[in-house]
Amino acid sequence: MKWINDIMISDVVTVEKGTSVTEAIEKLVKSNITGLPVVNTDNEVIGIISEKDVLALAIRIQEKTYNTEEEGMLVEDFMTKDVVTIEATESMTALCSCLMKNKFRRLPVLLKGKMVGIVTRRDVISHIFDTHRENQ
């Protein structure tokens, strides 16, 4: 039986607290991903900045409810703070259940409170496909 740490992506693109939103957007675009975990200096997940968060900021700027000249534009001001994570030692069943219950597409993977990877819906589906193909 496979565990989350068997299918997760270990080389995760992240940003640290204090990173500008512009830099985060650049990382999203250049890495062709939909969300970035925001970590502190101890590699603990403190948030995620996603495409939805960036779109919400764009609306605020367009509607002039956010002044980019007066206020800083740091990831911690716009990120989703209530982040759901999963332990690397959890089962695939727990992972699938979590992804089905929630609307997000990615889960930071932790080991003893530190981020060690990320797993996406696509990773799970690819794993299911590969396992099915191997068993034929």
Tokens of 134: 């191997």
Tokens of 33: 């991903």
- Quickly state the pLDDT bin for 92 (edges 50, 70, 90): confident
Q: Using DSSP, state whether 60 is helix, strand or coil.
A: helix
When divided into structural domains, the chain yields a total of: 1
The backbone torsions φ and ψ at residue 63, rounded to the nearest 5 degrees and listed phi first, read: -85, 5
pLDDT at position 129 is 86
For position 45, which CATH number holds? 3.10.580.10
Q: For the segment 97-106, what is each residue's pLDDT rounded down to a tens digit?
A: 999 999 888 9
* Global pTM value: 0.85
Q: Average per-residue pLDDT in the chain?
A: 88
Q: For the segment 46-71, what is each residue's pLDDT rounded down to a tens digit?
A: 999 999 998 988 887 777 665 655 55
The residue among 126, 97, 94 whose CA lies nearest residue 9 is: 126
The parent domain of residue 119 ranges over 4-134
pLDDT at position 61 is 75
